[in-house]
Chains A and B, each alone.
Chain A
Amino acid sequence: MLETSMFSEIGLNHYLVLSALLFTIGMAGILLRRNLIVVLMSIELMLNAVNISFVAFSKYNMNSEGQVMVFFVMTIAAAEAAVGLAIIVSIFKRFKEVNIRFFEHLKG
């Protein structure tokens, strides 16, 4: 009884824990990885972690506002990915590599 309820009833907390884990992994990727493409992927991961929370709350509260938010986030993520990839392409053209330390050249 105890075991079945524990695995069969997947509630809000499970989604939130998953979301927090994904968010932390994404943040660790941003902080630690040097490759710009990986960093960009980590950002996507963080955004999607947030999306999971939105959807979970939306389901839990029985309304659609969270799901609306998710669409916004996905739109922005798409735009951000486009811009980010463009920057990465131009950095690659300039330095033949996509390391995050090249951004240090932008400092005044």
Chain B
Amino acid sequence: MDHQILIAVLLLSPLLGFLINGFRFRSQSYVIAGTVATLAVTVSFVCSILLFIELLALPAESRRITAHFFEWINLGDLNINAAFVVDQISSIMLLIITGVGALIHLFSIGYMHHDKGVTKYFSYLNFFVFNMLILVLGDSLVTMFVGWEGVGLCSYLLIGFWFSDSAKAAAGMKAFITNRVGDAAFLLGMFILFMTFGTLNFYELNALAPTTMEASWLGAVTLATLMLFIGATGKSAQIPLYVWLPDAMAGPTPVSALIHAATMVTAGVYMIIRLNPMFVAAPNTMMVIAIVGAATAVMAATIGVVQNDIKKVLAYSTVSQLGYMFLAVGVGAFGAGMMHLMTHAFFKALMFLGSGSVIHAMHEEQDIRKMGGLRKYLPVTHFTFILGWLAIIGFPFFSGFFSKDEILWQSFSSPRGHTLLWVAGALGAVLTAFYMTRLMALTFWGKSRVDKNIHPHESPWTMTVPLIILGILSVISGFIGVPHAIAEFMGHIPNYWQQWLAPVIRPLPIEELQSVTHTLSEEYMLMGISVFLAMCSAIFAYVVYTKKKHIAENTAQSLKPIYNLLDNKYYVDEIYFGAIINPLVKQSRNLWYYIDVNVIDRMTHVASDVATNGGKLVKTLQNGNMQQYAMYVSLGLIIVLSYVLMR
């Protein structure tokens, strides 16, 4: 019973914050709004910790706390409860969402203090946390879908937060509509699962997952998981639906950190890990996921190399890192995917907040060509940014190193992996090291190119404290999941992460695992290669962008076609507009003109004309002339009598 209260408080606290701030949305007092919102999420964070401690106390096989509130839908075979589950997977998500969320709320107090809509902003942010909690805690796909749509709505509201700028409002709509495309597939996947298994509850579905692998492309499980994956590509910004995420940077920077880096965009990965027994049973889907993930990781990284907007670089980096997570779950390394989800949440939130601090200091300037040498103005931001940078480029023993290395190794060694997937992953890592170092060099190092009228200043404590905490987490969080190979010579640190997740992760079939053998030396070699290449690339970028600028310019000149291709993001937006959106709009316009106006509207007009004219006609019968009425009565009498008499 007390579990139920704990989960209820966890869920309702952000909702209450949303309502309080929502009802006084005209207020411009950032202190009250920020305090209410931050406290609401902090309460949730405390509840998450308490629930986590309770989970720890339970035996490993039965770590599951369920809160059943009420029966929501009961229609024939469909039985959906408003029930929420805390288990190994969702407890980690809870800690990330509420922990990182609370820090970002705190950061927002400093970042948004000059904004007129600050109370509205915080109410949206709280509502987002509430929906995200529903998404991760729901015990069935339908409950999850409620949160899934809710976070989409909040994402839309927050991207278009400064909606008086039409470009920003359009970015919000783009995010929402792109997500709807994925959501349609998500719904189809749910339908197929329900038709096949008769339930949408996660635990029932996972228990019903076929034990034999489904080889066909058209099998129910394969189709359903593919559809769910398409839904995930929308939410988690993978090829082909990733286009909304870079544009989503139009929102306030803490929003980018919370929604578009740490939490919402990982929902797709979370959903796949939630249903991992189902996905394991569909090797074809897994293959598609791995390929899409690897392709996204490389493609987004290449675009990131040429971006000049500090947030756009980070946005493409997020798309790329999400690609790694999908690569991981695609080769069956669900634990590694989840691990990268967590470390990425820390270091990417850190870097987004850091970029927010930079933008704040630069008076809303986002172009890194106009920065440089900010190290001496923003010491705390610079130092914490370095921690995030080292984590993302996979510098040994930082958090990103452990998670990314594990993904790369699994993509090579897993029976569902492939050498090419490893190559793509390693290439992505090299590119990541390059563009992140470029970002660091252009922003913080080298000569200052800052406009003389701008005097950068370090941010207030509400902004630096979250940076410092996230910086520490970016450094140490990797040690809870040290891969076997590294643990060997670090004094046999147990892999807590794997032990924690093992009961809820379905391993690949034993016959597949036996078909491949890999040695430790291979692992060391591959790790060495990828880390070495990434470090070389980072050093190269450092030299190019701090000392020898002309190399970059010359290369861009000599590779003009490629540079233009990357600068224009492979023309994907243009292709989508030319191939899908414009024809669709044109057809819709035609339909509107020829079908709606000329057929449907005309039909209703004709119907109303008939009624009006008919009314005018019989109106003369009822004119209030009593004698005329009496005449009708007499005539009727005569007609009836004549009929009776003449028969």
A contact residues vs B (CB 8 Å cutoff): 27, 30-32, 100-101, 103-104, 106-107
Contacts and interface: CB of A to CB of B under 8 A. Distances in A.
Interface stretch (B552-560, B577-585, B626-634): B626-634
A104 B627 contact: no
Q: Is the interface of A mostly helix, strand, loop or mixed?
A: helix
A27 B631 CA distance: 9
Contacts of B630: 30-31
Most B CB contacts (10 A, CB to CB) among A31, A32, A106 go to: A31
15 contacts: A27-B634, A30-B627, A30-B630, A31-B627, A31-B630, A31-B631, A31-B634, A32-B627, A100-B626, A101-B625, A104-B623, A104-B624, A104-B625, A106-B624, A107-B623
Interface string B397-434: 00000000000000000000000000000000000000
Interface in B612-647: 623-627, 630-631, 634
B626 A103 contact: yes
- The size class of the interface chain B forms with chain A is under 10
A107 B634 CA distance: 22
A104 B630 CA distance: 14
B624 A100 contact: no
Nearest to B625: A104
Nearest to A27: B634
Contacts of A31: 627, 630-631, 634
A71 B630 CA distance: 26
Contacts, number: 20
A86 B459 CA distance: 95
A98 to B, nearest CB: 14
A107 B624 contact: yes
A27 to B, nearest CB: 6
A106 to B, nearest CB: 7
Contacts of A106: 624
B198 to A, nearest CB: 62
Contacts of A103: 624, 626
A103 B631 CA distance: 16
A103 B623 CA distance: 11
Nearest to A103: B626
Nearest to A24: B634
Interface string B368-386: 0000000000000000000
Contacts of B631: 31
Most A CB contacts (10 A, CB to CB) among B623, B624, B631 go to: B624
A30 to B, nearest CB: 6
A40 B630 CA distance: 14
Given A100-B627, A104-B626, 17 more contacts: A27-B634, A30-B627, A30-B630, A31-B627, A31-B630, A31-B631, A31-B634, A32-B627, A101-B625, A103-B624, A103-B626, A104-B623, A104-B624, A104-B625, A106-B624, A107-B623, A107-B624
Contacts of A30: 627, 630
B468 to A, nearest CB: 80
Nearest to A101: B625
A14 B634 CA distance: 24
A95 B627 CA distance: 19
B634 to A, nearest CB: 6
A104 B626 CA distance: 8
